Amino acid sequence: MVSVKVKATRIHQLISCGVKSMEFILREAERLIQKHKTRNPFEIADCLNINVLYRPLGKLKGIYIYTRRSRYICINNDLDSPARRLVCAHEIGHDRFHRHLAKMNPQAQELISYDMSSKPEREANIFAAEVLLPDNEVIKLINDAEMNFFRAARELYVPPELMDFKFQILKNRGYRLEAPLNATGDFLKKARPRSRALWFL
């Protein structure tokens, strides 16, 4: 019982120490966009040698797997094209910022699964919002008098929650914006996988 508490504390410390600032996340997203000359997450994954697979995952939308020095993004094959795109971008965020957690030993993985719903998910969502939603496109839409927040999200083929993350980014850059919702980091998550070797949405 004592050893489990120690492991859980150690995992919490690892997650806390690994928290990335918004600026750090945005710089990495911009670096990848500039280096690979694309915002397409599938093309970015290919350039990073991350294998993208489609599998029946039930309610789970996607997972990031690191095993034997190979990286995989598994996407639920029931998702439509815009959702696949979002999941791929989100999981690349985990690859960039949380691979150290996916490398942890199996016992630790089981404990991590109870403490992953906030900071790592938020960081992956910030990354996905920056990759998928260029500033100029979002600003152009929200400046349209006939366009509201939810319509703008539909125009950009993203859920409103991801648009909220983009609003947070733009506010960080000095724009005065308010979203009509407050998205949580785990808005994509539907179910948790049972495997200990998986990083999940």
Q: Look up tokens 């750090």; give the residue.
A: 24
Task: Tell me if 14 is assigned to some domain.
Answer: no
CB atoms closer than 10 angstroms to residue 155: 14
Residue-range definition of the domain harbouring residue 175:
22-189
Complete DSSP assignment for 154-175 = HHTTS-HHHHHHHHHHHHHTT-
**What confidence score (pLDDT) does residue 183 get?**
78
- 196 part of a folded domain: no
Q: What per-residue confidence (pLDDT) applies to 145?
A: 80
Tokens of 88: 């791929």
Region of residue 55 (phi > 0: left; psi between -120 and 50: alpha; otherwise: beta): beta
Q: How far apart are CA 31 and CA 5, in angstroms?
A: 39
Q: For the chain, what is the domain count?
A: 1
Is residue 155 one of the residues assigned to a domain?
A: yes
Taking only the tens place, the pLDDT of each residue in 3-61 is 333 344 443 433 344 457 899 999 999 999 999 999 999 999 999 999 999 999 888 89
CATH number of domain containing 70: 1.10.10.2910
Is 9 contained in some domain? no
Residue at 198 is within a domain: no
Is residue 47 assigned to a domain?
A: yes
The model carries a pTM of: 0.80
